[in-house]
Chain A
Amino acid sequence: MAKNLTGERFDVCIVGCGAAGSVLACKLAEAGWAVVALEAGDWLETDKDFRQDELSMLGRFDWDDRRWVAGNEELRLGHVRDGRGVGGGTLHYGAVALRFWEEDFERFSRDGVGRDWPIPYAEMVPYYDQVEREMRLAGPLSMPWGPHPGKYPQGPHEMNYRDEKLAGGLEKLGFRWTPTPLAILTGGHDGRSPCMNYGFCQWGCKSDAKTSMLVSYIPRAVKAGATIVPNCRALAFEAAGDGRITGVACDIAGVSERVSADVFILSAFCIENARLLLNSAGGAFPNGIANGSGMVGRGIMAHIANPYFARFDEPIEMWTTAPGTLLSQEHYGTKESRDFVGGWSWMTASLFPAEFGTQLTRSEEGIWGEHLMELLRDYPNFAVLGTEGECLYYSENRVELAEDTDEFGVPRAKVTFNFGENERKMRDEMGRLAGKILEAAGAKETFMGSGNDHLMGGCTMGASADNSVVDSNLKAYGHENLYICDASVFPSSGGSQPSQTIIALATRLAEHLARKGGARA
C-alpha cells in the first residue's frame, strides 16, 4: 500500500528494515521517537507467503537486481547473500548466533594487518548479552571456545545424523565441537512456535521459530508506533551545505516521495549503502554523502565459505534440521603455527535439492552427464561441512557506481572483490583439514567446493575522518544527523556469522540515540 510521506516529519528515518534497521525502529519507537522505516521489499507474512519450496521462494526476498562483479573471487549476490523485504537478510539467514571474539576487534594491533575497531570487545559485551536474552537464543550450557560467558536462554537444538557423522570426524582428529547457538527457538516464546525441524530456514521459516526481524523486532516496532513502509526504494539523500541531511528522495510504488526527519539512519547493507551515498553526490558534496575521505564503498569483505561435500555409503538426509546445528571453532583466530592471519568456524550445512546440485557442480569440472545423475541420485547420502573464514580488510575491494542505470535511473553497483594471499592460504588449510575430517567421519568420497558468504564493510567505522566513513558512535563524518548501522561499518570480518554483532551494534546505537534525546515524546 503506497503511503504519502511527503509533508510529514519524523524524528528518525531509517533506510532498510533488516537486522539493524528493524532493531533501531523497535528500540527508538519504544523510546518514544516518531519513527519511519523504509524498506525496498515486500512485507511478507510467514503463514501466507512462505512456501517450503526452493522454486517458489526464489527471488521472493532476495536482492537480485543486476549488479556487476569483478575480481578473482566469484561474488555471489542475491539469494542467501542480501535480502530484500521487511526483515531483510534475517528472512533467509541460518540464524547462527555467535559473538565475534576479542581479537576480531584488534586485528591490526595484534597482527599488523587489516584494521582495528574503534571500540573494544568489552564495550560490546552488554549489548551481546542483551541481544542473546531478547532473542531467546538456543545454545549449549557452555562454549568450548571464545568469549561467551554463560548459558543461553534456551536449550540447544537436536542433532541429526549429519551432525553425528561429522562430529565423529572432528572428534577422531581431536577437534572439539558443540551444538551451535542459534536464534531459533527450542521452546515457545512470545506466541511463537518452537522449531519444527522443517529445515527450510533459509527459504523462509514457516513456524516462526526462527527469530527473523519480521516476527520479533518489527511487531514490537509497530506496536510502539513505528511506521514501516514496504516497497519503498530510497534513491538519494539531500543535504544542506553544512552537511545536515534534510531529506531522502524515494519511490513508493511509482510515486516520488520525499521523507523528512531530524535524524537519518542508513541500514541498507553493504552494497546499497554505498550506492545510495555515492548516488547522493551534488552541491557541497560532489563525491557523495559521507565521502569526504573517499572511503565510501571501500573495504568490502566476504567470508570464505567453502562447502565440503561428504558422500557416505548410507543415508544421511542432511536436511532434517536447521542448517548449521553443529559448530567447531577449533581453528578460529590467528594461530602462531600457521602462515596466515585469522581463522574460521566449521559448521554443518543443509542444501536442498536445487542448491545442492548447483553447489556440488561448482566444486570441480566434469560434473554433468552420467556422473551428475549418479551423484544426484545419491543426494540423501551426502552431508555438507561448511566454513566461515575471516577475510581481511582491503581498501581495493570496493563498491562503485557503474555506467548503466536501473529502472529508477540510479546507476547500478559495480563490486570489485579479490581474495588476497592470506585468504588463499587459509582456504588451502581449510581444504586440507576438511579432507581429513570428512575422511575420519567415514566419507567414501569428497567434493571440495569453494565460495564466499556474508558481505561486510563499505562504510567502515574508524577513529579518523581521514580513512573512515563513520565514527565509533556510527555517525557519518561530516554529517551531524546521519548514522550508518549494519555490517557495512565492520572494520574486520571475524570468522563467524555477523548477525549477532550487527544486532548488538544496532542495540548500542539505539541506546546512544535515545540517551542523546530528540524524541518528540
Chain B
Amino acid sequence: MTTCAEREPALNAMIDGELDGLNASKLEAHVRGCATCSAYLATLADVRDLMAPDALKEHAPAPLRARIEAMMATPEPAQPRLPTDRYIPWLGGGAIGALAASAALFLAVPQFSESDMPDQLIAGHIRSLQANHLTDVLTSNRHVVKPWFNGRLDFSPPVVDLGAQGFPLVGGRLDYIEGRPVAALVYRRRLHTINLFIRPLSGAAPSLPATFRRQTYSLSRWTAGGLEYWAVSDIEKGELQTFHASFDRATAQ
C-alpha cells in the first residue's frame, strides 16, 4: 500500500513530465480523490511558477562568449599545402558547384514551403499516429502540459482542456515543421485524434481557406496573440470548426 508521502517523488515526476502514461493516469486518478496530494501538487505548480521568470535565466556575458568563440577558431597548425597546378582547378569547380547547389536550395526553399505547409502538417499528424509517438507528455492536466514546453520552445503555447466540450486534452509533444520546433497539443474527439500545431506567427498568411480538406484530412488555420494555429484531424470540417471555436472561447477566458 503506497502512502501519500511515498507518492511525493512521483508527483514531482508528473509535474516534470517524466512519468510514463500508465503511471501518470493512475496517479491523476488518485490525486482527484485525495486532498493532501492535490494540495501538494498545487504547491509544486506554485514553486514552478516562482522559478519561471526569464530574469532568473541570465545569458553568458558577451566577453566570455567572445573568448570561447575565439577558442573554437584559433588553433590552426600549418595546413599541408596542396600543389596548386593540378588540384586547385578541381577544388574550384567543386566549390563553385557546392555554392551553386546551396544557393539554389536557399532560393528554392521559401517558394516550396508555403504550399507545402498543409502537407507537412498532415505528415506530422500521420507520423504521430503511426510511430507510437503521439505525446511526449501524456496527461489531461493542462498545468502539467504547459510548463512541460518551458525550455523546450522559445514561446509559450496556451494549453486548455476542452473535455467539457467533447474534446479532451490527451497531452502534448514537440514536432518539427519547416525545420523549426513547434508545439503540438493532442486532443481527442470520440475515437479520432486532433493534432493542434502551434508556432509563432511569421510571414504572410497562405492563400488557403481557413478550413479545408486535403487527402481525407481536415485542416483549420487561425492566428491569435502572435501565434499561428493549425488543427489537423480526420474528423469532419464542421467538427473541426467547432473545435476551433471551443478553443478560442476557452483561451479567451
Q: Do A and B bind each other?
A: no
The chain A residues found within 8 Å of chain B, CB to CB, are none
